[in-house]
Amino acid sequence: MRLKIAQGRLYDPAQGWDGEVGDLYIEGERIVAPLAEVDLVIDAQGQLVLAGGIDLRGQVATYGLNMLRLWGWLPSPREIGELYAGLGYTHVHEPFLTLYTAKYVHRELAALPIVDTSASLAVNLRDLDKWLKSPEQLGEVEQNIQFLVKQTRALNVRIIEPYVRFRQDYYAHRNIATENLLELLTRLAQGQNSTLTLEASPELLRQPLPDPPAFHLAALGPALTEAELVQAALNHLDQGGSADLGLMQPAGYESWPNLPVQINMGFFRPLDLCPSPSQDAALRALELALQYQGANLAFSGAGPLLAPVSGYARMFSWLTDPSARLQDWGAELGDRAYSLADWINMTRTLPARLLGFRDRGHLGIGARADLAIYDLPKNTDKIDLSQYLGRCRTLLKAGNLVIDNFNLINPEIARATYYLQTGGEASPWLGEMCQYRSFRLENLWVHDHLGGDWVGVQ
Amino acid sequence: MIESVICTGCGCLCDDLDVTIEGDRVIEVANVCLWGVNKFIATKKFHSKKDRRRILAPQSRRKGRAFDISYDAALEEAGNILVQARRPLVYGLTNNGSWAQEAALRLARRWHARLEPGDLAFMAPYYEALARHGLYWAPLEEIRDEADTILFWGANPIHSCPRHVVRYSVFSRGRFTERGAEERQIAAVDIYPTETAKFCKPYIQIDPGQELELLQGLIAQLIEGQEPPKRVKGTKKLAKLLSEANFGAIFVGRGVSYGPARKLWEGLARLVVWLNTRVPFSLFPLASDFNSVGLYHLLLRETGSPYAPDFGASSGLSSHPTPVDWREVDALLVTGADLFWFLTEEQVQDLKRRQVPIMVLSPFANRTTAKAQVVFPVALSGIETEEVAYRMDGLPVGLQKLISSPFRPDHQVLADLEQILAGSSGG
């Protein structure tokens, strides 16, 4: 199928396009150079043409998350997939996949229609403590992590707790403080030649990172428990580090479900799926977004309760429209308004770069034809963008029409889970590291029929 | 020999079986319990010398006698039942793989049927208690590694999931429990002495009807700091054991279903919330059917509720925590359960009197196949066909095909039945 998107207003920070009117050509699943003949022309005159959105931290398949449906706090996978598609998103990245929940996460991801998916392997450093204590074994640590990424079919690595801490007193000698561990993690990240994702926490923000560009801080919002931490986060960004926002909704906390939903996955702290909201932290996350002027900050929500996908459009408007902030937060919080280019960078360009997708997040020739086309008035000054950016008129995924004229016409479009083919092999001590697992190793790994469709990336 | 095979004997889904195959026959299984032997060698439960009878061909019943028929003829007969039903029920599913459960849910939706999990009476009150008090959850992996206090309540794991105590809860050696049972306090509450009692200290044997009083006593002593109004013998010991835990788990068995299940789950959930204010503690239903948990995950994911979905409700979809009223049902599809094992004589007679047609999918002959109008033999999941199942802590595993089989997988039969309905409704 050859397509022409005619006379759209093209926005792509990677190409330096900022609303230029032009045509895009698609052949098969790729954007191509102009074609002499096409099979279909989509008239995009006056409309905004962007790459498909990528949610860098979409908590949609975490072990235990399904239980939130018991209280009606989480839509069905079909609804979630359709919500993302309606927003113009084509890819969602799950942040919490662990060694033994990998199969669960992949089954849940496979149930999500329309959007492609991937996941981070959340490494529990407690499992590696013995070897982290010996810096000369760092190479083997790296080797085993690469092997585990391959076997669990994750796309990258995430550190939730950048320390080793045991509850058992008799293991206290094996604790490793954050400060010491960050040195090791920096060397690991430098060795892999990629950024390492750390879940943000107040403790981490207080700690100066040895090499900020080596780290991506995930979900800043809930970590901003004190005012000075905003400055710490800004410093990280200014020094070349990247982060995602972890925005939270401001309203409705008085009717917040005050129930515990905690999953113990072997980390020092259980995963809290119903965290107590902090309006102060939520406000600080937004203030941080408004203060930061660079291109290293990606958009993300702080989980399905604090920032449901259905609320993303409204969150976009806080960034682009002071009046929306006044309406929802009771204050304009300054007159900063994100430009479309800023917003596109934080929802497309930067997430694609951070996930290592060279053919996503932009409109260049050779890019995959994941396109979202929105209606937008010509003059975008001081308008509520959420009305427009929260509802795409046309969505193309790999060159196939998914949404046409605001209607979902292809809900069964092929979707895939992306994982990194590291080629890593296990070092001899992997068996020792996994000796207490309740699964034999061969049953721990993710096999084809436990998820998919699969796409391995190098 | 095929190593590291997963056993579908119970919800433990032990993954360390080594199976010896000769031709298309399993001749030896290592590391297996009696439940597993029952699946792999096809013997009767607890009678490993007695064979279970496989159903070798689809069957139809006329004038009380079963006749072998072709698969297509069985589908046609089942199709007649499907299209004529007005208040149909799909029952069981806790002993089916996840693909079969998904196929059954699609069938129930198209058939405008109610779908009733075989162990709803046990699991629904658990979910109701969670809905009210919240959830603290730890997978068996963490319990094995860290739990130093285990309480079995109305549960006899030696009988319901035999290797649970060895692999996860009592004798297993985890990272911080390297001396196994020596590092754990194990207690049990039950109304009669079971095999489990032999390694539980304290083992609290109560009279039937005392469960709630014991629980209320624990709550009064631990949470409210008061003397219980009526003290059941053992309350103090149990309170001491729970209060001294560093990491604990309460495994609840089907025994609670025979008492005031809702109140018991409610009290246990409340107790666990309080215990968690001090140390990690989990409340854990001991689901003995091999994919019971997979079914509840599926229902939550697809219907937003763990209860029995009714696609025939006038409102479109309603979900019920209480078991079905059998007097309403006018057609039955049973899979992954032996329904007639659980029904009362009165209910059986009522179904018989009203000539409610029953379709059954089963690899083995059982009480329900003996009463069914149409029987479909199916391949054994995890032995004769690939499948997916969820361990009792909600972690899925892939089940392998070890030997070939002339029988279709249950999910394929269910999909064929759905196709009949699709054809009859023109969609």
- The ipTM value here is 0.95
What are the chain B neighbours of A447 within 8 Å (beta carbons)? 398
pLDDT at A277: 83
Q: How far is CA B58 from the centre of its chain?
A: 26
pLDDT-above-90 percentage for chain A: 83
pLDDT in tens, A91-101: 999 999 999 99
Residue B228 has pLDDT above 90, yes or no: no
B404: closest CA of chain A, how far (Å):
19
pLDDT-above-90 percentage for chain B: 89
pLDDT at A13: 93
Domain boundaries, chain A: 2-50+363-408, 51-354+414-457
pLDDT at A383: 66
pLDDT in tens, B42-59: 876 666 677 789 999 999
As beta bridge partners, residue B318 has: B310
Q: Residue B395: closest CA among chain A residues belongs to which residue?
A: A104
Of B4, B144, B395, the CB nearest to A104: B395
pLDDT at A429: 87
Q: Is the CB of A100 less than 8 angstroms away from the CB of B395?
A: yes
pLDDT in tens, B287-299: 899 999 999 999 9
pLDDT at B217: 95
Q: What's the average model confidence in pLDDT over B371-392?
A: 97
What are the chain A neighbours of B4 within 8 Å (beta carbons)? 440, 442-443
Cβ pair A272, A304 in contact under 8 A: no
Q: Is the CB of A439 less than 8 angstroms away from the CB of B15?
A: yes
Q: What's the average model confidence in pLDDT over B200-212?
A: 94
Q: Which domains does chain B have, with CATH numbers?
A: 59-119+290-388+407-424 (3.40.50.740), 122-285 (3.40.228.10)
Q: Is the CB of B395 less than 8 angstroms away from the CB of A262?
A: no
pLDDT-above-70 percentage for chain B: 98
**B96: closest CA among B182, B8, B26?**
B8
Residue A254 has pLDDT above 70, yes or no: no
Q: What's the average model confidence in pLDDT over B10-14?
A: 97
pLDDT at B229: 77
Q: Is the CB of A67 less than 8 angstroms away from the CB of B137?
A: yes
pLDDT at A452: 85
pLDDT band at A376 (very low <50, low <70, confident <90, very high): confident
Phi, psi of A410 (to 5 degrees): -140, 65
CA separation (Å) from B215 to B154, B189, B212, B227, B239? 12, 10, 5, 13, 10
pLDDT at A276: 86
Pairwise CA distance, residues A438 & B138, whole Å: 13
Burial (CB < 10 A; 0-12, 13-18, 19+), residue B426, is exposed
pLDDT at A135: 81
pLDDT at B48: 65
What are the chain B neighbours of A69 within 8 Å (beta carbons)? 300-301, 304-305
Q: What's the average model confidence in pLDDT over A361-388?
A: 86
Pairwise CA distance, residues A406 & B243, whole Å: 58
Residue B427 has pLDDT above 60, yes or no: no
Residue A381 has pLDDT above 90, yes or no: no
pLDDT-above-70 percentage for chain A: 98
User: For chains A and B, what is the number of CB pairs under 8 angstroms?
Assistant: 115
Pairwise CA distance, residues A142 & A151, whole Å: 14
B79 or A257: which leads in pLDDT: B79
A359: closest CA of chain B, how far (Å):
32
Note if the bond before A453 is cis, omega within 30 degrees.
Answer: yes
pLDDT at A253: 62
| CATH of region A51-354+414-457, choose from 3.90.550, 3.20.20, 3.50.30, 1.20.120 | 3.20.20
Please, which residues have CB within 8 angstroms of residue A102's CB and are 6 or more apart in sequence? Answer: A119, A121, A152, A153, A154, A444, A445, A446
B386 touches chain A (CB under 8 A): yes
pLDDT in tens, A330-358: 998 999 999 999 999 999 999 999 999 99
Q: Is the CB of A67 less than 8 angstroms away from the CB of B140?
A: no
pLDDT at A382: 62
Phi-psi region of A213 (alpha: psi -120 to 50; beta: other; left: phi over 0): alpha
Pairwise CA distance, residues A253 & A272, whole Å: 17
Amino acid identity for residue A3 in this structure:
L
pLDDT in tens, A288-316: 999 999 999 999 999 999 999 999 999 99
B371: closest CA of chain A, how far (Å):
36
pLDDT in tens, A133-180: 888 888 899 999 999 999 999 999 999 999 999 988 889 999 999 999
Mean per-residue pLDDT over chain A, rounded: 94
pLDDT at B226: 87
Give kind and range of the element (H or E) at residue B127: helix B120-133
Residue A320 has pLDDT above 80, yes or no: yes
β-pairing, B248-252 vs B281-285, is parallel
Fold agreement between A2-50+363-408 and A51-354+414-457: no
A259: closest CA of chain B, how far (Å):
5
**Which of A60, A70, A124, A152 is best to mutate for the B interface (most B CBs within 10 A)?**
A70
Domain A2-50+363-408 - what CATH class?
Answer: mainly beta
